A = this chain, B = another copy of it.
């Protein structure tokens, strides 16, 4: 394998700065929410850069943006590399932008070096990965993978009342020179660089994570009801305090789920009580459970475990637990052949790497349903993401793009 091709690190870093200025926040972050004026500006800038290099620009009805460098033959479907350009409302400058601009850097490097590829390579920027304006997130990749835009999305409203269908049309209209193409279609493979959004790589001082799977996620909403009563007048034997039951259940879950299985994740992100009066025993406690596991059977077992503990602890105190599943995302496995290509690239570049699970969702999760897909993670400072302080060392940005270039070349080599 020839590893002489080199991405232009300075050009990539300059582009990252340039895009970070689009929707920049005073604290150094980015507010470039999906389909906003800022998002359109970023898309227009990327399209202009593409046109300067003579690459064709396409957009599909979901406003997913594609930049195409032709291959030797059009008989084979394109190989996609990319990520997203939208951000959280107080987001960082790397989440999404790093993967999209690294992919564009790869495209320019291929062009600069005159490397011919067996099929077209396309950079893609997926629409609305974050879901902060219109729910759910990953709309662009989800619609691409399914080949359809769910009808109800058109009427989805942002917190300030904007209607998705209208903003989608305005976003498409803002790039009149882009060529319209239908949603979906055959793809030869998909690779995405992303920041880890967790602390593992930084703490282990490893610059590259090769993501072999995305954990499955289930969300539960647990409500435990007891009997509200006066804090001062009610003796212990007369209390049916649901918070005592919930405390007992959570203690048990915290002690049994993650300590017994390093692949499991259990998070209680929300808890609230009613009537929420200082001097009243709560009558009702509600909390959310975020459960994750890369193994589907184990995830199902964990859900049953949570249900059993909550029900047992509640009934032991004369309370009642009702448990509702509000979200269920099965685990996704990435393509072994593509993972092998990434490992091969990292090894030949002599870049330290480790296999990883992704705990967060990504557009790659949906691409994995229709093609070979894999992801490359780079470290971020203190594991911080969805935060204006999000930061990736310049050398890790460059290394991620370099590994993406050679992973792409290694993957394409199979078609030669």
Q: Contact residues of A with B, CB < 8 Å? A: 196-200, 203, 215, 217, 219, 229-236, 238, 241, 243-244, 247-248, 250-251, 254, 258-259, 262, 265, 267-273, 276-282, 288, 290, 292, 358-361, 383-386
Residues in chain B near residue A244, CB distance under 8 A: 254
**Are B278's CB and A273's CB within 8 A?**
no
**Are A232's CB and B215's CB within 8 A?**
yes
**Are A259's CB and B278's CB within 8 A?**
no
Known contacts A251-B251, A269-B277; is-contact A199 B232 (Cβ 8 Å):
no
Q: For the complex, what is the distance from the CA of A279 to the CA of B130, rounded to whole Å?
A: 13
A278 in complex: contacting residue of B215, B219, B229, CB < 8 Å: B219
Residues in chain B near residue A247, CB distance under 8 A: 247, 250-251, 254
**Are B217's CB and A232's CB within 8 A?**
yes
Known contacts A219-B278, A288-B278; is-contact A265 B198 (Cβ 8 Å):
no
- Shortest C-beta distance, A10 to chain B (Å), equals 30
Q: For the complex, what is the distance from the CA of A276 to the CA of B385, rounded to whole Å?
A: 16
Q: Can you give 27 contacting A-B residue pairs, CB < 8 Å?
A: A198-B234, A199-B235, A200-B233, A217-B232, A217-B279, A219-B279, A229-B383, A230-B360, A231-B265, A231-B267, A231-B359, A232-B290, A232-B292, A232-B359, A233-B360, A234-B265, A234-B359, A236-B258, A236-B262, A247-B247, A248-B251, A251-B251, A267-B281, A269-B276, A271-B271, A278-B288, A279-B290
Residues in chain B near residue A196, CB distance under 8 A: 233
Residues in chain B near residue A280, CB distance under 8 A: 267, 269, 386
**Are B281's CB and A269's CB within 8 A?**
yes
**Are B272's CB and A272's CB within 8 A?**
yes
Residue of B nearest to A327 (CB): B278
Residues in chain B near residue A360, CB distance under 8 A: 230, 232-233
Q: For the complex, what is the distance from the CA of A243 to the CA of B256, rounded to whole Å?
A: 16
